[in-house]
A = this chain, B = another copy of it.
Amino acid sequence: MDGSTFPIARLTLPEAAAERLRALIIEGELAPGAKLNERELCERLGVSRTPLREAFRMLAADGLLVQLPNRGAQVVALSREDVRGAFEVMGALEGLAGELAVARVTDADIADLRALQNQMEVTHAGHDLPAYYRINRLIHDRLNALADNAVLKQTYRTLNARLHALRFRSNLNPAKWDQAVAEHRSMIEALAARDGAALRDLLVGHLRAKQQAVLDSMDNRDDKNLQGGTRP
């Protein structure tokens, strides 16, 4: 995301443990609502309880875990309301990113984004979903970078991680996919026109569509992610 500094990138033990746990949660190995046994996880990760507990604190701060006093930690189970709320906030954040990006974007940035957009349309035409997601994410990241706001970036990333823990490879049907691609093109054009308000509206709308897709998938499928929320 940042890419500028790389001081050998040594990970502390709690950080490494948190990273590993995060992966276990996202890939579903640790299901939403699952109770986390410290001793068991210690063996599994090869660390002692102290760094593991610090990892717990980090993940709890990210909203991936909930810690109950004297009763251990468990993987968060997002309720429908949580998902709704998170997407609403994400929309506001992306909208802000768009407005800020307009103020700082250069012609070179726009050329880059147009190129990415073209690449994305190629993946769309070729029905290459993984590549599409990759470029899609790249574009959104680029926009966030243009906003040049560390607090925004950090907040956005945390929220994003929380939602990704749901593993919604949202059922992207052809019609929605077409629409998403078209919306993306409009965004780039709004950015090129330096129309902050329009870009903001597009981004908010884009997020609202994504939200609807995820909420629908939570309703329709008997998805194991929907567990009645953090407080059943």
Query: Chain A residues in contact with chain B, CB under 8 A?
Result: 10, 12, 50, 53-54, 57-58, 60-62, 69, 81-82, 84-86, 88-89, 91-93, 95-96, 100, 149-152, 155, 159
A-B contact pairs, 8 of them (CB 8 A): A12-B69, A57-B57, A61-B61, A85-B149, A85-B152, A88-B149, A89-B96, A155-B155
Give bound CA distance, A158 to B84, whole Å: 20
Known contacts A57-B57, A58-B61; is-contact A86 B151 (Cβ 8 Å): yes
Give bound CA distance, A88 to B95, whole Å: 12
Q: Are A93 and B89 in contact (CB under 8 A)?
A: yes
Which residues of chain B have C-beta atoms less than 8 A from A151's C-beta?
82, 85-86, 88-89, 159
Which residues of chain B have C-beta atoms less than 8 A from A86's C-beta?
151
Which residues of chain B have C-beta atoms less than 8 A from A95's C-beta?
92
Query: Could you say how many copies of this chain the assembly holds?
Result: 2
Which residues of chain B have C-beta atoms less than 8 A from A58's C-beta?
57, 61
Give bound CA distance, A92 to B150, whole Å: 15
Q: Are B61 and A57 in contact (CB under 8 A)?
A: yes
Give bound CA distance, A84 to B152, whole Å: 11
Which residues of chain B have C-beta atoms less than 8 A from A92's C-beta?
92-93, 95-96
Which residues of chain B have C-beta atoms less than 8 A from A10's C-beta?
69
